[in-house]
A and B are shown apart, each in its own frame.
Chain A
Amino acid sequence: MGNIFASRTGIIIVGGAIGIMATLLQYLGNPPNMGICVACFERDIAGALGLHRAAIVQYIRPEIIGFVLGAFIISLFVGEHRPRGGSSPLIRFFLGIFAMVGALVFLGCPWRTLLRIAGGDLNAVVGLVGLAMGIFGGVLFLKNGYSLGRSQPQKPWSGYVFPAFMLGLFLLLLFGVTFSEGGPIFFSASGPGSMHAPLWISVAAGLIVGVIAQRSRFCTMGAFRDVMLIRDFHLISGVAALLAAAFAMNIMLGQFKLGFEGQPVAHTDHLWNFMGMSLAGLAFVLGGGCPGRQLFLSGEGDLDAGIFALGMIFGAAFSHNFAMASSPKGAAAFGPAGVVIGLVFCLVLGFVMREKSTA
């Protein structure tokens, strides 16, 4: 069939490669247990653009740019770049917002959940159970006919907009433009936002992940969903490989520390770790992909996935501006309220967005 990455071996290689690259990125300067975190990195981008003013989490993360551009280039190359869109874009925007609200209450996307576990952070096990719970809820909706409707083919040029946006971000990063005195682009002087691997290494890692993830259709949410929905263990074997590879690398690089307390960029509020990831998991299922997958899809021309990703960036700004994003001290004042509102939104969607008979 010409696509070796679509095989079982392929997805395992891809998961393993992501685990190795993520832990190496940590070793080379990215924040601890955050070699690659799509939610955190989109949050940093929102901060760099001045959409929120949390001074410690502002940086234009080149990994995110690489993900989109890697997927974009390879999809053009193999003829899978297919601009499409129009499947409930506004709904997807809000799903992206609430997915981010949930992820930032926990402090991580599904990728970082795995990386945190691989680094010995037991709080992330609670988050993972929450994620699985949220995905399970979404699967029940899928079984009952949940659908955001069909997408339509779009004009060829529309597929270039999101990659061009990423290219623009890259130029801003490269030239470190300042738009006004004391204004954006902001780069953190301390905190997680100030920690990063050398730029070109991050770009290269991002591009490689973008390429192999596009070919393999790697998706963390999809992994759990497929097991629950159709007893398909294809994607989850890639997730297991990511976890195993990152764990082995952390042991070798001395980055492993087991426990609940004192974990980097994490808190021990179990209830909200669980609830935050439940919301995120549910929103990912309803939106059709984990944050990483949404970026790869955006790269290959899926305009709806692009809207979801933009929703996540906006959601990060809301989360920090309205005191919903957690800190290492625990859940923030309005985090729980944000999660509850998000859950209500997702549950209503699950019940009302149904296709009658698609056959």
Chain B
Amino acid sequence: MKEGINMATKKIDARGLACPQPVVLASRAIREGVDALEVIVDNEVSKENLLRLAKKYNMRADVKEENQDIVIQIAK
């Protein structure tokens, strides 16, 4: 899983995208070797799905609510 270099936090704006697209974007980034990413979503379903994704890859996940948006930071 560590073939990629440790880039700065990759940001993904997934607001307005329906599930599973936020998860597809995040998992693609993880598979490309990104160690830390920040995904912005606007609904609970995407949040739950991203938290499950993080768990699957054994990564840490922090959730912040900013106004209407939910920011999920996922890192090794």
**A82-B43, A147-B17, A147-B21 given as contacts; is B48 within 8 A of A217 (CB)?**
yes
Please indicate the chain A residues that have their CB under 8 angstroms from the CB of B24 in the complex: 142-143, 229-230
Least distance between A215 CB and chain B CB atoms (Å): 10
**A80-B44, A153-B68, A217-B45 given as contacts; is B20 within 8 A of A230 (CB)?**
yes
Least distance between B41 CB and chain A CB atoms (Å): 11
Are B25 and A359 closer than 8 Å at their CB atoms? yes
Least distance between B46 CB and chain A CB atoms (Å): 10
- Near A by CB (< 8 A), chain B positions 30-76 give 42-45, 48, 52-53, 56, 68
**A87, A232, A234, A358: which contacts B25 (Cβ < 8 A)?**
A358
Please indicate the chain A residues that have their CB under 8 angstroms from the CB of B52 in the complex: 232, 234
Are A359 and B21 closer than 8 Å at their CB atoms? no
With the chains together, A84 CA to B19 CA distance in Å?
14
The listed residue with most A CB atoms (<10 A of its CB), out of B18, B44, B53, is B18
Are B25 and A230 closer than 8 Å at their CB atoms? no
| In the complex, A356 has a CB within 8 A of chain B | no
Are A151 and B19 closer than 8 Å at their CB atoms? no
Of chain B, the residue at the smallest CB distance from A289 is: B18
With the chains together, A358 CA to B43 CA distance in Å?
18
**A80, A151, A152, A226: which contacts B18 (Cβ < 8 A)?**
A151
With the chains together, A151 CA to B56 CA distance in Å?
28
With the chains together, A217 CA to B46 CA distance in Å?
11
With the chains together, A225 CA to B20 CA distance in Å?
9
Query: Number of contact residues on A: which range applies?
Result: 20 to 34
Number of interface residues, chain B, beta carbon within 8 A: 26
Are A6 and B48 closer than 8 Å at their CB atoms? yes
The listed residue with most B CB atoms (<10 A of its CB), out of A80, A84, A87, A150, is A150
Report the number of A-B residue pairs with Cβ-Cβ less than 8 Å. Answer: 59
**B11, B12, B16, B44: which contacts A84 (Cβ < 8 A)?**
B16
Please indicate the chain A residues that have their CB under 8 angstroms from the CB of B21 in the complex: 142, 147, 358
- Near B by CB (< 8 A), chain A positions 80-122 give 80, 82, 84, 87
Are A151 and B20 closer than 8 Å at their CB atoms? no
Of chain B, the residue at the smallest CB distance from A287 is: B18
Are A230 and B27 closer than 8 Å at their CB atoms? yes
Of chain A, the residue at the smallest CB distance from B47 is: A1
Of chain A, the residue at the smallest CB distance from B43 is: A82
Least distance between B21 CB and chain A CB atoms (Å): 6
Are A226 and B16 closer than 8 Å at their CB atoms? no
With the chains together, A304 CA to B23 CA distance in Å?
20
Are B18 and A222 closer than 8 Å at their CB atoms? no
With the chains together, A305 CA to B34 CA distance in Å?
33
Of chain A, the residue at the smallest CB distance from B11 is: A359
Least distance between A163 CB and chain B CB atoms (Å): 18
Least distance between A52 CB and chain B CB atoms (Å): 30
10 tightest CB-CB pairs across the interface, nearest first?
A: A150-B16, A288-B18, A151-B16, A6-B48, A217-B45, A230-B27, A359-B12, A80-B44, A150-B17, A358-B25
> What 20 additional pairs, Cβ within 8 angstroms, besides A82-B43, A142-B24, A358-B17?
A6-B48, A80-B43, A80-B44, A82-B42, A84-B16, A142-B21, A147-B21, A148-B18, A153-B42, A217-B45, A222-B19, A226-B20, A230-B20, A230-B23, A230-B24, A230-B53, A232-B53, A234-B52, A288-B19, A359-B10
9 pairs, CB–CB < 8 Å, chain A vs chain B: A150-B15, A150-B16, A151-B18, A217-B45, A230-B23, A231-B56, A232-B56, A358-B12, A359-B11
